[in-house]
A = this chain, B = another copy of it.
Amino acid sequence: MSQASDQLRQSPLTEITDDCAALSRGAAILGSGGGGDPYIGRLLAESAVRDHGPVPVTALEEVPDDAVVVAVAMMGAPTVMLEKLPSAEQFAAAVRALAAYRHITPTHIVCIEIGGVNSTSPIVAAAELGLPVVDADGMGRAFPEIQMVLPTLYGYSAAPMSVADEKGNQLIVDTIDNTWAERLSRTAVVEMGCSAITAQYALSGAELKKSFVPGGLSLCIRLGTAIERARAKNRDPVVAVADVLGGRILGAGKVIDIERRTTAGFARGLAHIASTDGVGDIELSFQNEHLMVTRNGSVETTAPDLIIVLDTETGEPITTEALRYGQRVRVVTAPADPRWHSPRAHRLAGPEYFHYDSAPIRFDGTEAA
């Protein structure tokens, strides 16, 4: 670990109090361009902490084997979420609906997707329900579909899952696999107006410890804090981000062309970044997330590893929707959880799944066999 990150808070996270700003900035970075605007999640989490007091945090390894853990996430279009902000009660309603259907009494709430808006969804639910939140998540980044999480690789089921909208409609989706959970909940969310709250992946503590990525909430706060401190000390915030993530700065440039088209519900796009560091222009392929970077005709990194586009000066992450002509950016690549690198995991969330003609390439440019 580098000197920069050594200086950041390393003591275990025990509760969420006033960390929501740092947390949501870190979540935007781990979103790898997707996962939705964490600003909404920040507002919701801050309001929940204001109403109910600090939310206790349990480290993943400290969750009892027989704990009953429920993951909570918003689902839909982040732009819509911003227009019809979900209520805290809606988060709790989703958990209650699932608990009633499965005849379980949840003991902990957890995050399924640490990148983006869903970093704080479990905090809102936990505050409302008076439960602790686990410092972990199901992917260590953001991906657009329900089955694209590590628990799928362990054979754990997203379903039965619940979906709750702001009008009071609720669904229980009980499916034969996680791909069907995605399909049926997605069509419901679209019909509900493109934004709803879901409770999913009700797991035992033992299953959670096996299949989740530890330390996601802490990592977000570390990342957010690293950017703030670097700026305050006139250090380079982009270097700070790369250091915290153990990643590399792939290059710097100016966005000179962006192509977007929406196909089958996905906003697919390609950004051309003209090199300003003399190393070579970068082609950035994105859908909901930044998914592939190519330089001088060779693929430098693909999902599932993280591709993060940061404002070259401020270090603020730039989402796929926010990419604009003229932006000065630096591209950082960073390792995903190692469990994302297996043939099965690659089929679930590698370049082939996103219809790119490339083998999976790790953050450091090596082939992920």
Which A residues lie at the B interface, using CB under 8 A?
97, 101, 167-176, 180, 183-184, 187-188, 190-192
Contact = CB atoms under 8 A, between A and B. Distances in A.
A183 B193 CA distance: 11
Nearest to A173: B171
A145 to B, nearest CB: 14
18 contacts: A97-B174, A101-B172, A167-B176, A168-B175, A168-B176, A169-B175, A169-B184, A170-B174, A170-B175, A171-B171, A171-B172, A171-B173, A171-B174, A184-B188, A184-B191, A187-B190, A187-B191, A188-B188
Contact of A172 (B174, B176, B183, B187): B174
Given A97-B174, A172-B172, A167 B192 contact: no
B175 A183 contact: no
B172 A184 contact: no
A264 to B, nearest CB: 14
Contacts of A187: 187-188, 190-191
A167 B168 CA distance: 29
A190 B170 CA distance: 19
A174 B183 contact: no
Contacts of A97: 174
Contact of A174 (B169, B180, B184, B191): B169
A168 to B, nearest CB: 5
7 nearest CB pairs, A to B: A172-B172, A170-B174, A187-B191, A168-B176, A169-B175, A187-B187, A169-B180
A336 to B, nearest CB: 30
Contacts of A171: 171-174, 184
Contacts of A176: 167-169
A176 B97 CA distance: 14
A341 to B, nearest CB: 31
A172 B101 CA distance: 10
A170 B173 CA distance: 6
A180 to B, nearest CB: 5
Nearest to A103: B100
A167 B190 CA distance: 23
A173 B171 CA distance: 5
A183 B191 contact: yes
Contact of A184 (B101, B180, B192): B192
A184 B167 CA distance: 13
A201 to B, nearest CB: 17
Contacts of A167: 176, 180
Nearest to A183: B191
Nearest to A159: B169
Contacts of A173: 171
A172 B167 CA distance: 17
A49 B171 CA distance: 34
A188 B163 CA distance: 13
Nearest to A191: B187
A187 B171 CA distance: 12
Given A101-B101, A168-B176, 12 more contacts: A101-B172, A167-B176, A169-B174, A169-B184, A170-B175, A171-B174, A171-B184, A183-B191, A184-B191, A184-B192, A187-B190, A187-B191
